[in-house]
Structure 1
Amino acid sequence: MPSIFISGAATGIGRAVAERFLAEGWTVGAYDIDPVTWSDEVVAGHLDVRDAASWDAALADFATHTGGRIDVLDNNAGIIIDGPLASAAVADVERLLDVNCLGVVLGARTAFPYLRGGGTLVNMSSASAIYGQPDIAAYSASKFFVSGLTEALGLEWRREQIRVIDIKPLWAKTKVADVDAASVRRLGVRITPEQVADAVWDAVHPRGRWGRAKVHHGVSRLDKALALGRKSGSDRMAKVITRFLAG
């Protein structure tokens, strides 16, 4: 039975991913800093993604249920702060970077020996990593970090047969979208956690060589169109579009 370990699985996208894979017959590890109480069918446990020892203990615990191997690790946990960066509390910025950046690095590093030989690392990025977003600047930058790490590890771990990908949705109906950002008002919150979970499932099960080679995965038509436009357009055009959507 294939297995997936998910961080930040108590609520939101993490829970939706867990439920999606559970429905497909996978062994699911749902770990979070908050208690995971929504199902007795998952392997649940405590995880503080900012702490290396917590990662070691959580993955070792889950591996006792999977025969020592993990097929997929979903680096899902993440937080957000909004408002002008100049007035943000330093402690809030530090916590965001610890969870969104350090947490992803520690998750990837700890998962490496469990994924070797055919596993997949899924990192939760964001459409805010297409072009830097005002009012959520630190969050947006953290997601650029995630996308950059994804690309680097995809090359670094290629010989170990570990596939590394990320998911880059627009605003989904979770606590992360409960912010006062212009892009929320302009674009709305139209994506459900279940849609993101479906995108994770599809990304983990690519079709053909082209699908397997794909690194960055969108969720909705709009975020896919924005990503394509960013690749094919100029910085000036991307800036103008972003100012309209989020300025």
Structure 2
Amino acid sequence: MPSIFITGAAKGIGKAVAEKFLHEGWTVGAYDLAEIPYSHPRLISGFLDVTDPNSWEQALAHFASQTNGSIDVVDNNAGILIPGDIHTLDPHDIARQITVNCTGISLGAHAAHKYLAPGATLVTMGSASAIYGQPGIAVYSATKFFVTGFTEALNLEWRKKKIRVISLQPLWVKTSLAEVDTASVRRLGVRISPETIADTLYRAVHPRNRWQAGKIHYGVSITDKLFFCARRIAPIRLARLVTRIVSSEW
């Protein structure tokens, strides 16, 4: 029976991913700082602080003890967003976003490697805010650039062991992270459901052929896919202009 370990699984995207994979017959590990508020015969849950390496070791060992010592998918879903212009943020909130969103996935990859056999997949949660730096959420946006680079680096680093490393990079999703008053939320709206993210992740870890297996970054909606494609060919000045129109206050 295949297995998936999910961080930040108490609610939102993490909960939707857990429910999707449970529905598909997987053994699911749901871990979070908060208590997991749902249950299932194939659900294994527990505590995880993604900023603490010891917590990672304990949580992964706890789950792997129920899956014959290996894990098929590790979903680095946990992340936080604290909006505000950089000069208005509490320094603690700046550091916390970087620690959770960057250090957290790095510690997760470090701890998970020994449980991932050839053919396994590590998933990171990126964001369309990594297309071009976003005003009003600059720190969060920058952490998602880190996620992109980290994913690409590990995709090469773990290639010899045949472990896929991929990321999902959606626009705003209907979770608490999107309950912010920013220009991009007002102009683009919040149209992606956690269930859509879960469906995309499930398809991503089931590539149908070698070409699909080589894909690294996954968009979710038509809009974010178009933004990513356009950014790859657009001059930097044009990308800056479009980002200013979409995400800046006038």
TM-score, normalised on structure 2? 0.97
| 1:124 match | 125
| 1:12 match | 12
| 1:134 match | 135
After TM superposition, give the deviation of residue 3 of structure 1 in Å: 0.2
Q: Contact 1:128–1:140 at 8 Å: present in 2 too?
A: yes
Aligned length: 247
Give CA deviations for 1:153-205 in whole Å, capped at 9, x if unaligned. 00001001110000001000001001111100000000000000011011111
| 1:174 match | 175
CA distance in 1, matches of 2:237, 2:160: 38
| 2:25 match | 25
After TM superposition, give the deviation of residue 233 of structure 1 in Å: 1.2
Structure 2 residue runs without a partner (length 5+): none
| 1:195 match | 196
SS at match of 1:4: strand
CA distance in 2, matches of 1:54, 1:37: 20
Q: Contact 2:71–2:117 at 8 Å: present in 1 too?
A: no
Structure 1 residue runs without a partner (length 5+): none
Counterpart amino acid of 1:29? G
CA distance in 2, matches of 1:61, 1:145: 28
Q: Contact 1:83–1:180 at 8 Å: present in 2 too?
A: no
Matched-pair identity in %:
57
Q: Contact 1:73–1:120 at 8 Å: present in 2 too?
A: yes
CA distance in 1, matches of 2:245, 2:29: 41
| 1:75 match | 76
Runs of 4+ residues deviating >6 angstroms: none
| Alignment of structure 1 residues 85-164 onto 2, 5 Å | 85-164=86-165
TM-score, normalised on structure 1? 0.99
SS at match of 2:122: strand
Counterpart amino acid of 2:219? G
Q: Contact 2:124–2:168 at 8 Å: present in 1 too?
A: yes
Q: Contact 1:154–1:163 at 8 Å: present in 2 too?
A: yes
Q: Contact 2:84–2:137 at 8 Å: present in 1 too?
A: yes
